[in-house]
């Protein structure tokens, strides 16, 4: 047993000052507003299970910290029943997190506020240097420019990379589609770039699909799911993530859910991992272009080319057959994951979202045919809904200390 007694529910009979009583509720309250689950002070009160006075003090403190705004003169919505309540919103010019993403076709920086709101983005860049320090230096500099232009306070920085990130050291273990050295210490390099740019606050790094799943769970298609499975293509390759009870399941050393190397075609193409027929090479944008007999062009990203092909040429039998082949392989992979993980929702991103849009019945039928649970009650399969969900997820990493303890993080 730990020596610290668990805090009991605070009653009304104590003589403690309001804020002292409510301090432990600041983080949970901020998370409720951040994830859109407490649009009013009345909802906040009931979600926290505290008195109206405590909820009022908590909301006032979060407002004083510049994180949320509480409307001073609540009006009842037309036709609504009961007493009007103060609306709670993320503060208009509140602090932001610096979010950075590197992928096979470039990199991008953005400022992301609470609520997963992208406040500003720098133009994407299309060349990724083989030296991670150069790329990360450039993307952080782009973010620092945004901070200077907007004058907003920064709580910290988060980076999304198309590689498993091994913990506890933050190493990019398999940057297969970048020319980066295997095991590059991306978190340390990123943190050094952030410090060198004069940005205060902690720096974090994570796998891009993990971060996309986290963002979708908090702000998008994954809201409310308890066992959320996310499978997505980046610009190259395929990744997966699992969010259990609101937390990313990353395994013992950060490497869980490397679904890209699930074999879905035993006679398929050789994969960079040494195996053959992995989802990574059988169900990504390049695989679609090859399957459809199209020569990949250099002008736009492979992801754009593949998405455009399905959107603009689906009537072409060759494109249709290629799309169906990818849907079948993706379905086979998802079925295996459903059997192992028993998720209550699956969300698909990148090209997989486009495959779902193209023929949802076919994809759902493959998953149902091949999975135990699919036979009885099918798992909902939905498209991701956020634009730039990996960037938003990278920002979530930087927001986490503030969500855990707003007073300590912002003091």
Q: Which helix (H) or strand (E) holds 13?
A: none
**Cα distances (Å, whole numbers) of residue 244 to 217, 380, 397:** 10, 16, 16
CB closer to Zn ion, 208 vs 258: 258
Q: Which residue, among 197, 241, 198, has the nearest Cα to 217 in the 3D structure?
A: 241
CB closer to Zn ion, 220 vs 333: 333
Identified binder of Zn ion from the candidate list 155, 278, 394, 398, rule CB under 5 A: 278
Least distance (Å) from Zn ion to the CB of residue 236?
12
Identified binder of Zn ion from the candidate list 275, 320, 373, 385, rule CB under 5 A: 275
Contact between residue 323 and residue 283 where contact means Cβ atoms under 8 Å apart: no
CB closer to Zn ion, 39 vs 268: 268
Helix (H/G/I), strand (E/B), else coil: 381 = strand
Stretch in the footprint of Zn ion (CB under 5 A) among 88-96, 97-105, 164-172, 279-287: 279-287
Least distance (Å) from Zn ion to the CB of residue 172?
17
Contact between residue 173 and residue 255 where contact means Cβ atoms under 8 Å apart: yes
CB closer to Zn ion, 261 vs 353: 261
Least distance (Å) from Zn ion to the CB of residue 290?
16
273 binds Zn ion (CB under 5 A): yes
Q: Helix 360-370 and helix 317-341: axis angle, to 10°?
A: 40
CB closer to Zn ion, 300 vs 340: 340
Phi, psi of 241 (to 5 degrees): -155, 155
CB closer to Zn ion, 232 vs 381: 232
Contact between residue 173 and residue 261 where contact means Cβ atoms under 8 Å apart: no
Stretch in the footprint of Zn ion (CB under 5 A) among 153-161, 194-202, 272-280, 382-390: 272-280
CB closer to Zn ion, 272 vs 362: 272
Least distance (Å) from Zn ion to the CB of residue 276?
8
How far is 321 from 302, CA to CA, in rounded Å? 19
Identified binder of Zn ion from the candidate list 271, 309, 367, 379, rule CB under 5 A: 271
Site for Zn ion in 235-264 (CB under 5 A): 261
Least distance (Å) from Zn ion to the CB of residue 233?
14
CB closer to Zn ion, 237 vs 254: 237
Least distance (Å) from Zn ion to the CB of residue 278?
3
How far is 74 from 150, CA to CA, in rounded Å? 30
Which of the 8 DSSP states describes residue 226?
Answer: S
283 binds Zn ion (CB under 5 A): no
- DSSP for 71-87, written as a single string: -SS--PPTT--S----B
Where does residue 178 rank: exposed (0-12), middle (13-18), buried (19+ CB within 10 A)? Answer: buried
* Total chain residues near Zn ion (CB under 5 A): 6
Least distance (Å) from Zn ion to the CB of residue 341?
19
Contact between residue 165 and residue 106 where contact means Cβ atoms under 8 Å apart: no
Least distance (Å) from Zn ion to the CB of residue 169?
23
Q: By the criterion CB under 5 A, which residues form the site for Zn ion? A: 261, 271, 273, 275, 278, 280
């Amino acid at each position: 047993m730990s020596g610290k007694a668990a805090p009991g529910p605070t009653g009304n009979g104590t003589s403690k000052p309001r804020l002292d009583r409510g301090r432990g509720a600041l983080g949970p309250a901020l998370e409720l507003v951040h994830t859109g689950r407490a649009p009013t002070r009345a909802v906040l009160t009931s979600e926290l299970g505290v008195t109206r006075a405590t909820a009022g003090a908590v909301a006032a403190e979060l407002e004083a910290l510049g994180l949320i705004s509480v409307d001073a003169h609540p009006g009842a919505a037309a036709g609504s029943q009961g007493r009007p309540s103060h609306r709670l919103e993320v503060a208009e010019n509140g602090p932001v997190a610096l979010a950075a993403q590197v992928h096979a076709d470039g990199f991008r920086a953005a400022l992301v506020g609470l609520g997963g709101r992208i406040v500003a983005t720098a133009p994407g860049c299309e060349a990724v240097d083989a030296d991670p320090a150069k790329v990360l230096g450039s993307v952080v500099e782009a973010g620092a420019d945004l901070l200077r232009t907007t004058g907003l306070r920064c709580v910290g920085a988060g980076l999304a990379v198309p590689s498993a990130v091994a913990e506890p050291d933050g190493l990019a273990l398999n940057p297969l589609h970048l020319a980066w050295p295997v095991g590059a210490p991306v978190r340390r390099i990123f943190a050094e770039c952030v410090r060198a740019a004069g940005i205060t606050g902690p720096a974090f790094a994570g796998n891009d699909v993990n971060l996309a799943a986290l963002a979708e769970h908090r702000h998008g298609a994954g809201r409310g799911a308890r066992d959320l499975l996310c499978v997505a293509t980046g610009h190259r390759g395929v990744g997966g993530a699992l969010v259990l009870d609101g937390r990313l399941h990353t395994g013992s050393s950060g490497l869980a859910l490397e679904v890209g190397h699930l074999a879905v075609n035993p006679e398929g193409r050789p994969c960079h991992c040494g195996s053959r027929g992995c989802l990574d090479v059988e169900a990504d944008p390049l695989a679609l272009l090859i399957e459809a007999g199209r020569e990949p062009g250099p002008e736009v990203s492979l992801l754009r080319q593949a998405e455009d092909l399905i959107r603009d040429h689906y009537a072409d039998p060759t494109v249709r057959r290629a799309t169906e082949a990818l849907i079948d392989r993706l379905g086979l992979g998802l079925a295996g994951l459903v059997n192992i993980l028993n998720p209550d929702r699956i969300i698909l991103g990148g090209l997989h979202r486009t495959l779902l849009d193209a023929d949802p019945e076919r994809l759902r039928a493959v998953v149902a045919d091949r999975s135990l649970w699919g036979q009885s009650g099918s798992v909902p399969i939905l498209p991701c809904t956020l634009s730039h969900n990996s960037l938003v997820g990278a920002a979530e990493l930087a927001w986490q200390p503030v969500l855990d303890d707003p007073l300590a993080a912002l003091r």
